A and B are shown apart, each in its own frame.
Chain A
Amino acid sequence: MTDDMQEIISDFVTEAEESLDRIDPLFVELETNGEDKEILNDIFRCVHTLKGAAGFLGFQPVVDVAHTSENILKRLREGEIALSKRIVDAILASVDTLRVLIGHVKHGENLDENIGPLLAELDAALAEASGKPGNGGSHPAEAPSAASPAPAPAAVADAPVAVSAPAPVAAATAAAVPAAAKAAPAPPADKEAEKAAPEKKDAEKKKDEVSNLRVDIGRIDKVMDLTGEVVLARNRLLNLINTISAHYADDPAVSNVMETVSFLDLVTSDLQLSVMKMRMQALQKVFGKFPRVVRDLASAIGKEVDLKITGEETEVDRSVIEHIGDPMVHIIRNAIDHGLEAPEARKAKGKPERGTISIDASQRGNQIVIEISDDGKGIDLDRVKRKAIERGIVSADEAERMTEEAAIGLIFQAGFSTMDVATELSGRGVGMDVVKTSISKLSGFVEVKTRKDEGTTFRVNIPLTLAIIQALMVRTAGVQYAVPLSLIEEIVRVAPEEIALAGGRRVLVLREKVLPFYELSEMLGKGRPPEGAVRYAVVVAVGDSRFCLSVDKLLGEEEVVIKPLEGIVTEASHTLGSTITGDGKVVLILDLASISRSLTGSKRT
């Protein structure tokens, strides 16, 4: 029986978290677009169900908070009271508190939260709203007059804002899975159809309904692991069969085996794709939290912000979902805090008083591209340079000679920040470099474009597949390496005479473009090749950076499974991991983004 209960509680936690995640953006939408009975109903049902299950499982504080919120939601739904900022704040605060409580349940901790002040505030907000009965009609919640009450009490402000990445699941194993999360938004929204149009909504619902199964994440990872092994074995088999068929071309048995291996090859590729898809989820899961973040932040610092999101249906691997939220939130906070001007300042510039933050996600080939733009004042590069000089990050001389790209890159340096007084929100100088590191961990990179008074765009690039990639095999200084193909633009055979010098550095001129030229063996600390040797230059493109990595020999392309190296991989090693090649060797996979970073760091133009 205890196992059953454990599972039930696990499922309860998962469902509760999903419900709470849905409520945030719904509420923000209510606030901006006016009262919508369907949305209110949806929110009400979330809270009501949460209360019901919590009651059975004995989580009294959850019941209390849910019950009090439910009261307000019910009255709102019936049109008995009107939506006000105080009510929205109070309900959002109770959502935060419920999250904290559910978190305690998840980790098997006591539900020791002082919910008294929150309950009091909820009651007070309700009492106040009841004093002035609503007219049941739809009107945006910006209506509150000058008599608007103070924001929610301090005790509530301590509740964590709901933007942290989900905590690791405790001993209990069951966890929500991509498909399950995807189905959750669609059916319930349709379920709350008004009586007026039940048939139409029913037809829609049948279209949206997806058949789902909750699967333990560990099991999916195991399948992924095994698939990786199958891919490696397939590579090995292909390799062996090619050797054999060269010797025994006439033997019919051999051609049979070849056929079978070809078939296996195709099926393995399909298997690999299917398994990858199992772990993919729509970015909506992460983007759903942003309306609330924007609302809270804008409200706290007195700016008016519109948030536009597109491409949220773009799917990415689960690991990206888990780690992309924090850096994005930080970029958004920066945009609102530093980028967007206050309404009066915008008006003076002839801009609309409400600033706009646009988030767009799309898949471009093998990469996922997420752009976060604001129409604010742009990054003041002179100010950035001044601060960098002040903090000793660069010398005045270097700052003078810097390219715009390199200057922008300064904001990503550790300890850099231009806010003179560290605000609670950002400007503590630890943000942007953490953003960069988080994104590097996903094997991605960030690019920034900015224009004075027009705005700034942060573009985040993340590879689509994290575990299995196409690689170019090369050999240099007697060692074989795998180079990720997606970042390679071209390969050029280079005679020693073609390598030129520019400003003391070696370069290669390729179709009138000057590319920095580096020896891979030197980068990896294995010395230089003999003078006068023919080189093969691998032209690498990482973000806006292009350069050549020179090697002794090219060995061909291969699909490799990235096997992480425990305890060894660091920025300095420039590796993504290792792999086992078709002919059974262990080969290191180069991290081109990391190499590019170390080159840009030492580059002074």
Chain B
Amino acid sequence: MATLDYKEKILVVDDFVTMRRIVKNLLKQLGYENIMEAEDGEQAYAKLKGGGFGFVVSDWNMPNLDGLGLVQKVRSDPELKSLPFLMVTAEAEKEKVIEAIKAGVSNYVVKPFTAEILKEKIEKIFEKLGK
């Protein structure tokens, strides 16, 4: 698919409630309604295994299993390995982004970001997949 369909189920992963709500709100602004949440990488992985997700937005720093760990786990799982994955990073972590890309993230976005920026990132991800 060349875009992320509005009906697709999206998983937002961050260990802080406020952050999850902010990201969820931004996604809603873009028209996505089917949004689930997870508090850390482990919980996220468990939910993803349940199936039906079309997109993941995850923070990097989390307890139990961080963003990098999650992406690695997802990419090594035959059922989930082509799941589009957007990593949220802080300005200071940009050097670590190389690691994330090596691990297989579809794209990354630096916080804070606006709905427009998020939209661009999503479009970039799905354009690549469409090809």
Contact = CB atoms under 8 A, between A and B. Distances in A.
14 contacts: A4-B25, A4-B28, A7-B21, A8-B22, A11-B21, A12-B18, A45-B61, A48-B61, A52-B16, A52-B90, A53-B19, A56-B19, A56-B22, A57-B22
Contacts of A193: 63
Contact of A15 (B18, B29, B61, B112): B18
A5 B64 CA distance: 29
Contacts of B113: 56
A191 interface: yes
Interface of B: 15-19, 21-22, 25, 28-29, 61, 63-64, 90, 111-113
Contact of A202 (B64, B90, B111): B64
A11 B18 contact: yes
Contact of A191 (B15, B25, B28, B29): B15
Interface of A: 1, 4-5, 7-8, 11-12, 15, 45, 48-49, 52-53, 55-57, 191-193, 202
A224 B125 CA distance: 52
Contacts of A202: 64
A15 B16 contact: yes
Contacts of A45: 61
Contacts of B15: 191
A129 to B, nearest CB: 19
A52 B19 contact: yes
B19 A11 contact: no
A191 B21 CA distance: 21
Contact of A53 (B22, B28, B63): B22
A191 B61 CA distance: 11
| Chain A at the B interface: SS class | helix
Contacts of A49: 16, 19
Contacts of B112: 52, 55-56
A53 B16 CA distance: 9
B118 to A, nearest CB: 11
B64 A191 contact: yes
B67 to A, nearest CB: 13
B20 to A, nearest CB: 10
Given A1-B29, A45-B61, A202-B64, A11 B17 contact: yes
Nearest to A57: B22
A53 B18 contact: yes
Given A15-B18, A191-B15, A55 B111 contact: yes
A193 B28 CA distance: 34
A391 B111 CA distance: 63
A48 B21 CA distance: 17
A454 B113 CA distance: 61
Given A52-B19, A191-B63, A8 B111 contact: no
Contacts of B111: 52, 55-56
Contacts of A12: 18
A48 B90 contact: yes
When A and B form their complex, which 3 residue pairs have the shortest distance between CB atoms, in order from nearest?
A191-B63, A55-B112, A56-B112
A53 B112 CA distance: 8
Contacts of B22: 8, 53, 56-57
A465 B29 CA distance: 47
Contact of A8 (B21, B29, B61, B63): B21
A52 B113 CA distance: 10
B121 to A, nearest CB: 15
A214 to B, nearest CB: 9
Contact of B63 (A1, A15, A192): A192
B63 to A, nearest CB: 3
Contacts of A52: 16, 19, 90, 111-112
Contacts of B90: 48, 52
A192 B111 CA distance: 22
Interface centre among B18, B25, B113 (most CB of A within 10 A): B18
A196 to B, nearest CB: 15
Contacts of A57: 22
A37 to B, nearest CB: 15
Contacts of A55: 111-112
Given A7-B21, A8-B22, A15-B16, 4 more contacts: A8-B21, A11-B18, A53-B22, A55-B111
Nearest to B40: A191
B97 to A, nearest CB: 16
Nearest to A192: B63
